[in-house]
Amino acid sequence: MANEKMAAQIANKAGFIAALDQSGGSTPGALRLYGIPETAYSGEAEMFKLMHEMRLRIITAPAFNGDKVIAAILFERTMDGEALGKPVPTYLWEDRRVVPFVKVDKGLEAEKDGVSLMKPMPGLDALLSRAAKLGVYGTKMRSVINLPSPTGIAAIVAQQFEVAAKIAEYGLMPIVEPEVSIKSPDKKGAEAILLEELAKHIEALPNGRQVMLKLTIPDVPDLYAGLVRHKNVARVVALSGGYTRAEACKRLAANHGVIASFSRALVEELRATMSDAEFQAALARSIDEIYDASVNKVQASMTA
């Protein structure tokens, strides 16, 4: 079964996960970095069409394949779209051997108690059902921690695991993403509290249930080593969180067993005006660099 092959790839294969899931709020910024200003389009439909074209350019590039990119996280509209005449999830798995995931959250609530919880997801069941039928393997959902607030962080993790339980009912693998902001005035303190909360919820998972974790690269290298080894954790992946690719890769390489799931850091050199040859070469360089930091680890010398 494809799902068994996907599960083996996610759990064991060397490589990293490409995060291609910018949604409505972050799309204008992503297009701007790509070289397309907001004056170049009018309305949401045109904006998402340009974003889809950018994503297609990435996933159809020669270097974007399962040799180094083991999975890709998609925006809902991308999941529902097509690549070279096939549904995008089908194309990714059949043509590229890249495991498809989909982002399911609807953005963030206003900050309260040092954190931003996820907004309600009234259409979640319909989205999960559609994703399962399209051959998507798992999901991703993000909330944000700004301060080392024990009650705020407890609420973030509880919400993440509550939604993860519903996702698991559809046979999908949930990626839990409680991002600690790299701008937090006490990032290290927030990460210590987050580790405790994650450990409690992971230990309490029903027998045979697993989650994946997508976490900010910690200030203390190998902070999450115990979670990496836990039987209830399929994989721990790291977000780039606003670090440049060079900085994110340097930090990632000091965290053993953790692979990348980068978004901005993956595409930071890509531009709409590049020729196909230039675009493909730049993407290949980025993939090689992120793969190297995901696979070839170093002894940490940095502390933040």
Residues annotated as catalytic (active site), given as ranges = 177, 214
How far, in Å, CA of 37 to CA of 190, rounded? 36
Report the SS3 class of residue 272.
coil
> In this structure, what are the phi and psi dihedrals at residue 253, rounded to the nearest 5 degrees?
-60, -15
Collect all residues with Cβ–Cβ distance below 8 Å to 178 and sequence separation of at least 6.
Answer: 143, 144, 145, 153, 156, 157, 160, 194, 198, 215
- Please give the torsion angle defined by the CA atoms of residues 138, 143, 145 and 149, in that order, rounded to the nearest 10 degrees: -100
What is 101-128 written as a DSSP string? EEE----BPPPBTTEEPBPP-TTHHHHH
- Angle between helix axes 43-59 and 27-34 (nearest 10 degrees) is 60
Contact assessment for residue 211 and residue 10, using Cβ atoms and an 8 Å cutoff: no
